[in-house]
Amino acid sequence: MLTLPDTASLLIAGGDTRIVPDPATGLTKYGCRAVPDSEVVALGSSTASTISANGMAAAEALRQRCQAQLQTAAPETVYADQMQNLRAELLRLCGCKDGDGVNAVLSASGTDMHLIVTQWLRPQRTVMITQAETGSGLMSAVQGKHFHSDSACGESVPIGALISDWQGDICMLAARETDGSLRDPATVDAECSHLVEEAASAGQKVLLILTDSSKTGLIFPGIGTVMRLQQRWPEQVEVLVDACQFRLAPATLQAFLAQQWMVALTGSKFLAGPTFSGALLVPSKATQRYRAYGLPPGVSQYSNAADWPIDFAARASLSDGTNFGLMLRWEAAMAELRAFRRVDEQAIQSFLQAFRHSIVTRLQLDPHFALLPVGALDRSELGCARQWDSEPTIFPFLLFHVDTSGRNGAQRRPLTREQTAHVYRQLSQPDQTHQQRRFQLGQPVLCGERDGIAVSALRLCISAPMIVAASDKAGADRWIANTHSALDRLLQILGKD
């Protein structure tokens, strides 16, 4: 009988070295612990989150159930059964019903899922937002290359080498000007249309990736443009919605699926589950088109047969291996999703509006901060009613040194990228003034130049567990106060520097 490792060990297995804590600090590359951390004020869910006590309890309970089943069943059987259960519950909590024909594929991360999707569909051209607004390994993944030295199934792989005999062309669209301002949407959509139509008119298969939302909270490119391109070229253009932040209401998610667009999700951003849990929702018509498609053998380094629906031909190219770490990470994320789905829609709206008003006002009034421009979250062309996800949940901002000693009033100078990264690291260190609390924000995002200085933006992020905790006024007030404390700590660090 197989004896499973303890839950904490499993949670950092079945991914790559980015989720393994540094022995010296106990933190991963993303600044997270492998176990619950009550001293961190978690405001960085656009990057990653430390597992909550609720998530840890759910993961431990599932590990114990699996261990009991392993007394009489093979590990592959136990794993396959539990992954099927997770897929079914994820679909239900996403608003899918029996008979909808929507299927789910699970993977170790959002980047892994993009790699798997492109190996599955093999588009000749992929059009997507620039890498600055997505994952660092995404460009390599969608081109058919290994993006990290370790694969999710535990193999060492050569970074940059091709996974199979397929390699796709990639065209990336910039979302921002060199000063960090948003590019004109009409210009972006015209560029996107040209790139898609150029390939489609030549008979090429195009994967058009609609990002909702990006690292700084953008929908890109415009939903209407994506709809028109797919309708014009239904045989050539496949649409993938990169919703890996999972900042979508169920009605919005259903509206994307109603367009017959595949949707990529993760449990480790807005849901604040432990890092490395990806999923792909495949609507009915896409299921019909691709159910019989196989996979190149190299994808077995990233996916197991049981991660796929039972009647998909892709399973035949994969091993009957197990990834209990992936399973427990998804279970922890599902615990957060279950709790979030129980929160009243009006309570969600009220907190998001109160948070936005308080924090945006603070960021606008303090000369040490400058909000990065973010467009409206407009999904009206999908035809669904306005949901809570029309409120921003990511607030990117720049940091400035302020000199008040001159005769001409206060002079502001933006922090360099290196200085911003230093401040970001300092936030994660305890401070006596803040009762040993540490603050985790979204990692710095490159966003052009200001005054000739290359700059990065930090991000204040709302997560599903925050909203659950803020479902009453006392909880909401507490989280807003915690966020102001994070900004106070930033000012303290800037004063020392």
**DSSP-H helix ranges across 7-163:** 7-11, 53-69, 75-93, 110-121, 138-142
**How many angstroms separate the CA atoms of 12 and 21, rounded?**
8
In a domain, 44, yes or no: no
Residue 110: pLDDT band with limits 50, 70, 90:
very high
In a domain, 101, yes or no: yes
What is the tens place of the pLDDT at every residue in 328-360?
A: 999 999 999 999 999 999 999 999 999 999 999
Residue 135 clears pLDDT 90, i.e. is over it: no
329 and 348 share one domain? no
Q: Where among 337, 364, 392 does a domain terminate?
A: 337
Please tell me what DSSP assigns to residue 184.
P
Please tell me what DSSP assigns to residue 192.
H
231 and 314 share one domain? yes
Q: pLDDT over 90 for what percent of the chain?
A: 85
393 and 466 share one domain? yes
328 and 351 share one domain? no
389 and 324 share one domain? no
Which domain range does residue 423 map to?
343-496
**How many angstroms separate the CA atoms of 148 and 70, rounded?**
32
The pLDDT assigned to 131 comes to 86
Report the pLDDT averaged over residues 315-329.
Answer: 96
Report the pLDDT averaged over residues 239-249.
Answer: 98
C-alpha to C-alpha distances, 471 to 3, 127, 267, 465, 477, nearest whole angstrom: 40, 39, 21, 10, 10
Q: Where among 309, 337, 365 does a domain terminate?
A: 337
Q: Are 49 and 275 in contact (CB under 8 A)?
A: yes
Residue 230 clears pLDDT 60, i.e. is over it: yes
228 and 318 share one domain? yes
Q: What is the largest CA-CA distance in the chain?
A: 80
Residue 242 clears pLDDT 60, i.e. is over it: yes
The pLDDT assigned to 26 comes to 86
Compute CA 300 distance to the chain's CA centroid, rounded to the nearest angstrom. 23
What is the tens place of the pLDDT at every residue in 457-474?
A: 999 999 999 999 999 999
Residue 253: pLDDT band with limits 50, 70, 90:
very high
In a domain, 427, yes or no: yes
What is the tens place of the pLDDT at every residue in 163-200?
A: 999 998 999 999 999 999 999 999 999 999 999 999 99
What is the tens place of the pLDDT at every residue in 44-61?
A: 999 998 999 999 999 999
Residue 31: pLDDT band with limits 50, 70, 90:
confident
- Taking phi first (over 0 means left), then psi (-120 to 50 degrees means alpha), and beta for anything else, what does residue 50 get? beta
The pLDDT assigned to 444 comes to 96
Report the pLDDT averaged over residues 372-382.
Answer: 94
Residue 385 clears pLDDT 70, i.e. is over it: yes
Residue 244 clears pLDDT 70, i.e. is over it: yes
In a domain, 183, yes or no: yes
In a domain, 467, yes or no: yes
Q: How many other C-beta atoms can be found within 10 angstroms of the C-beta atom of residue 275? A: 26
In a domain, 63, yes or no: no
Q: Where among 307, 337, 367 does a domain terminate?
A: 337
Report the pLDDT averaged over residues 380-403.
Answer: 95
**DSSP-H helix ranges across 94-164:** 110-121, 138-142
398 and 475 share one domain? yes
Q: Work out how many domains the chain is built from and give that number.
A: 2
The pLDDT assigned to 435 comes to 59
114 and 228 share one domain? yes
How does strand 103-107 pair with strand 278-282? antiparallel
pTM: 0.96
In a domain, 447, yes or no: yes
CATH code assigned at 219: 3.40.640.10
254 and 392 share one domain? no
Report the pLDDT averaged over residues 301-311.
Answer: 96
350 and 277 share one domain? no
The values of phi and psi at residue 211, to 5°, are -95, 125
**DSSP-H helix ranges across 206-300:** 223-232, 250-258, 284-290
Residue 431 clears pLDDT 80, i.e. is over it: no
Q: pLDDT over 70 for what percent of the chain?
A: 97
332 and 349 share one domain? no
Report the pLDDT averaged over residues 431-438.
Answer: 66
In a domain, 381, yes or no: yes
Report the pLDDT averaged over residues 255-272.
Answer: 97
The pLDDT assigned to 437 comes to 81
| β-bridge partners, 238 | 207
Please report, in angstroms and rounded to a whole number, the separation of the first and last CA atoms in the chain.
57
Residue 432 clears pLDDT 70, i.e. is over it: no
| β-bridge partners, 458 | 397
The pLDDT assigned to 408 comes to 66
**How many angstroms separate the CA atoms of 108 and 404, rounded?**
50
84 and 216 share one domain? yes
In 230-296, where do the E strands start and end? 237-242, 262-266, 278-282
